[in-house]
Amino acid sequence: MKRLKKFLNNLFKEDGFILVDANKIEHLIGAPIKNPPIKLKLLDKSLHYKLLILPDLYFGEAYTDGSAVIENGSLTDFLEIAMKNIRRGNTSNYAAVIKKLMGIFNYVTKFNFAKKSKSNVVHHYDISEKLYDLFLDKNRQYSCAYFKNENESIELAQKNKMNHIIKKLNLKPNLKVLDIGSGWGTLALEIAKQSQCEVLGITLSENQLEYSMKKAKELNLQNQVRFELVDYRQLNEKFDRVVSVGMLEHVGKKFYGSYFNAVSKFLNDDGVALIHTIGSVMTPRDPHPWISKYIFPGGYTPSLSELSKSIEKSNLIIADMEVLRVHYSHTLRNWKNRFLGKKQEVLKMFDERFFRMWEFYLAGCEMAFKWGDQVVFQFQLSKELLSTPNTRDYIY
């Protein structure tokens, strides 16, 4: 316990909390600002060393299982303090080494081939459509919104995001558009509504496919938009525009070359692609062990250096690039607040453990985008220098 206390006091230079160990002994960590201070109570003695060795994994597990309890505040309050102190660094030298070993093991043993990619998608996106309806906007957009100010509603911010992407695609009537990882079909349908383009959306989720086809029929757009259950590597068509929102995170770093080669193959010579993905502002590092284990198996958020090499090798040009900072933190804050407000509805579908797991997921990611290394990259790609206008006036 002495080592854990020393480790935490070295880590928490700004703000602090009261740690209550499994023997019910209180320890002052840092210099708490809040009065009364937040209390973190450990109910399992094994956490005395687990949190020292790999807090990135074991704290999330302890909160999920109920063996770490927070009093005088919320999980968000505690994670805010923690991430303000950790920021973009490692929690400990032990954790850095173990995460590196885990990352090497995952890289050597895990391959996101078509079958594996489909099972990874099913693990997260086919849980329950009723669950997503509790916290997403009415159009089920499950990706970073675009906040012109942080107090905008999630509905308006998601509409902003779609409009921003559509402007970057610079659409003209009768173009063929491919949406890779089309989700519940909202962007593909919005592109069709705003243009006279023909759109194909592809997904690996059967639930999302069924929902998308139903919405296209409801909106009388089934002659303009079609959806297919297919891996992008199995598609062999040409398009004038390619868009992909929130899908590249699931590709896996072994397959960036294959992914961008496919985008290049899909595009006509004067075509334009818009790739929207979570990324890291740091040099390449290993994925968060708790997120990989419980939320997004096979997921990885790339650094800019990892993506730029693959883009260059695929003979694509980065015609424009934008980094969306903090937008995803605002998005997650909205999702989290809605989720927490629907606790009784969640418990009718799942148990307390699931509720705490998803609270940790949403709150943890919110703070990672607020204080950590996570951002969103928007790449506008082309094959020719003059495929898009020479200024950004058409976007803004």
Q: Is residue 389 part of a domain?
A: no
For 128-160, write each residue's pLDDT tens digit: 789 999 999 999 999 999 999 999 999 999 999
How far is Cα 251 from Cα 357, in angstroms, rounded to an integer?
Answer: 24
Helix (H/G/I), strand (E/B), else coil: 319: strand
Of the CA atoms within 13 Å of residue 131, those in its CB half-sphere come to 18
Q: How many of the other CB atoms lie within 10 Å of CB of 382?
A: 19
Q: How far is CA 232 from the centre of its chain?
A: 20
Q: What is the pLDDT of residues 69-115, one digit of tens each?
A: 999 999 999 999 999 998 876 665 544 544 444 454 455 555 555 55
Q: Count the domains in the chain.
A: 2
**pTM to 2 decimal places:** 0.90
Q: Are residues 122 and 70 in the same domain?
A: no
Angle between helix 154-169 and helix 327-341 axes, rounded to 10 deg: 140
Which residue segment(s) compose the domain that 275 sits in? 114-382
- Same domain? For 348 and 219 the reply is yes
> Please, what's the b/e burial string for 65-85 (b: 16 or more CB within 10 A of its CB; e: otherwise)?
eebbebebbebbebbbbbbeb
Which CATH number fits the domain that encloses residue 13?
3.30.1050
Catalogue the active-site residues.
365
Q: Are 18 and 32 in contact (CB under 8 A)?
A: yes
The total number of residues shown for the chain amounts to 396
Residues 297 and 203 both lie in one domain? yes
Task: Please indicate, yes or no, whether residues 127 and 68 belong to a single structural domain of this protein.
Answer: no
- The one-character DSSP state at 197 is -
Q: Give the integer Cα–Cα distance in Å for 265 and 285.
A: 29
Which residues, 6+ apart, have CB-to-CB distance to 292 below 8 Å? Answer: 106, 298, 299
**90 with 200, same domain?**
no
Residue 394 belongs to some domain of the structure = no
Residue 122 pLDDT level (bands cut at 50, 70, 90): low
> Model confidence over 352-388: pLDDT tens digits?
999 999 999 999 999 999 999 999 999 999 999 999 9
